[in-house]
Homo-oligomer: A and B are copies of this chain.
Amino acid sequence: MIRTGKEYLESIRDGRALYIGKERVKDQTTHPAFASGARTYAALFDMKADPALRDSMTFEEGGERYSIYYLQPRSQEDLRRRNRAHRKIADFCFGLMGRTPDAFAGNLTGLTMKPEVFDSEPGGNRNNLLAIYRYIRREDLFATYAIVPPQGARNKEYYLATGLPQPALRVTAEDDRGVTLNGMKMLASGAAYAHEVLVGNVMPLAPDQLKESITCIIPLNLPGLMLWSREPFNRAGLRAFDRPLTNRFDESDCMLVFKDAHVPWDKVIVHDNPGLSRNIYIQTAAHVISNHQSNVRFGSKLKFLLGVASLITRYTGARDIPSVRETLARLAAMEAGYNAMIDGQIEACEPFGDGFVVFNRRYMYAAIHWAMENHSELIDIVRELMGGGQFQFPASIDILEDTELRELFETFWTAGEFAATDRMKLFKLAWDLIGSDHASRASSYEKFFVGPAFAVRNYNFINAPWDELHAAVESFMASYGTGDGGAT
C-alpha cells in the first residue's frame, strides 16, 4: 500500500507513552510540541502518494506497489531511482530532518541484501528479518532506530562493582513467547512520529555482553516502552514567522526507556551474539544504502544554506563586495563538490551479494566524513554573512498590530527595495538555520548521527585499499637503487 498523509496521521495516534518531562502527550498530532512536525511528515506521505509522482516515488514488485525506498537495487539505474527519491524528500525539508521515512528504510532494505549474514552465526534470524521487511514495506510504515547505549552507561565495571542496575538496554528474561527488555537506548530521532523502531547496537559490544546484543524491530506503542523526549523546540504561541524551520522540521529525539517490555520472538533478529549484533550493519548493505540517503539529505541542506547565504547578502547589499562574492563562491564550490561526491557513488557503484548493486562505499564514507568536518564552518560562514543583522529587528512581528509602531517599522526598517517585513522574515529564517536551539541541535546532529568522529574515521580507514596504495609506492622505490645517478 501507499499510505496518504491523513492515513499516516491516524495511524500514529496509537497510545504510545510519549513524555515531555513529566507530561504525558496524549496526541502528538495535536500537541503544540509536535503537531506541526506531524503535518510535515504527513505532507511527505502525501507527496509520495501523489499519482503524478507514482513512477519516481514508488515501484512495483509481484503486482504490488511499494514506496521506492524499499527497492532492493539490482542495477545502476535502480541506484539512481533511490537517489532521486531521496533527493525529492530531502529537498522537501531542505535536508533539515535526519529521520524521514526513507532513512531507516535504506537500512532495513540494506539488511535484506545479504540475509545470509544472519545465518552466518548463532543468534541471527534471517526469516524474521525478511518477514519484517515485507511487513513494513507492505504497510508503508515509517520506522526509525535507536542503536546507542546511554552515555553514562558505558562504564560497565562500575555497575558490576556497585550492583546497581545497568542502564543499557538488555534482555532480563526470556520465555517461549519472546524476551523481556529493561533499560535505555539512545537516541530515537523521529520516534514521536514513526511507527516502528529498530533497537540494536552500532557500537562494539564486549563478548560477554550477550544480553545487550538484542536486536529487534518493534512498534513504538509497545507496552512497557516509554519515549522520553528531549526538550521540544516548538511550543504554544511560537509563530512560524519567528521560527519557520523549527516549526516545520523539529523531528523529535527520544530516549527509549524500557520497563519490563515484552518483545515476541518474531520481532527479534539478533539475540545473544554481541559480534553479530554490530556486524549486521557493515556486512550487509545496510550502512552503505542508508548513508547514501544521509549524503543526499546533507546535499539538499547545502543547497538551502547556499540559497539563504546568497539571499542574505543580496538583502544586505553586500553581495557584490569582492570578498563576499568569494565567500559565496567558496560555499558554492563546497556544495557542488559535495553533491559530486554523491553522484560519484553511482558512477563507481559496486556489485554486492547476490545480484545486487550498491553505492560506492568509500565515497559514501568520505562524504559522511566531509559533512561531519565541515558543517560547523558552513554555519559559521552564514553567521558571518549575517553580521549583527538579526538583532536589529523587533522582538516580534506583532508590532504590525500597533499602528504607530508599524509605521515606524515600515519606514525605518525597509531598506531600499527590500520591505521591512520581508527583511525580518529572511533574517528570522536564517537565524533559525544558524542560531536557534533547532539550529544548534543540527550542529550536534551532523557531527554525531553516524557516530563519533573516531568511528566515522574508522569506517574510512578500514575501507581504504592500503595494500594497493603501499604497492604503488614500493614498486616505484624498487625502480631505482642506491647508486643510480639521477640527473644524467
| Interface status of A243 (Cβ within 8 A of chain B) | yes
The verdict on A413 contacting chain B, using a C-beta distance below 8 Å, is: yes
Stoichiometry, as copies per complex, reads 4
- Which of A30, A303, A392, A399: most chain B Cβ within 10 A? A392
Please judge, given known A-B contacts A151-B389, A440-B440, A487-B235, whether A395 and B328 are in contact too, CB under 8 Å.
no
Instruction: Contact check, B20 vs A395: say whether CB atoms are below 8 A apart.
Output: yes
Cβ distance A105 to chain B, nearest Cβ, rounded Å: 22
- Binary contact readout A372-399 vs B (1 if CB under 8 angstroms, 0 otherwise): 0000100010011011111111111111
Given A241-B480, A434-B440: A388 touches B187 (CB 8 Å cut-off): yes
Q: Which of A63-71, A108-116, A332-340 sits within the interface?
A: A332-340
Contact of A415 among B152, B310, B341, B360 (CB under 8 A): B152
Assembled-state Cα–Cα distance A416/B328 (Å): 35
Interchain CB contact under 8 A, A336 and B464 = yes
Known: A367-B340, A399-B21. A413 touches B333 (CB 8 A): no
Question: Looking at chain A, what size class is its interface with the partner chain?
Answer: 35 or more
Of all chain B residues, the one with the shortest Cβ separation from A295 is B340
Is A177 an interface residue, CB under 8 A from the partner? no
Decide: A392 near B486, CB < 8 A? Known: A21-B397, A329-B460, A444-B435. Answer: no
Tell me if A's interface is mostly helix, strand, loop or mixed: helix
User: Within 8 Å of chain B (Cβ to Cβ): is A135?
Assistant: no
Output the residue of A231, A347, A405 with the most chain B CB within 10 A. A347
Q: Nearest CB to that of A244 among chain B residues?
A: B480
Q: Which of A432-458 contact B (CB under 8 A)?
A: 434-437, 439-441, 443-445, 447-448, 452-454, 457-458
Give the chain B neighbours of A337 by CB distance below 8 A: 337, 341, 363, 366-367, 369-370
Let me know if A311 is at the binding interface, CB within 8 A: yes
Whole-angstrom distance between the alpha carbons of A399 and B21 in the complex?
5
Check B391–A365 contact: CB distance below 8 A. no
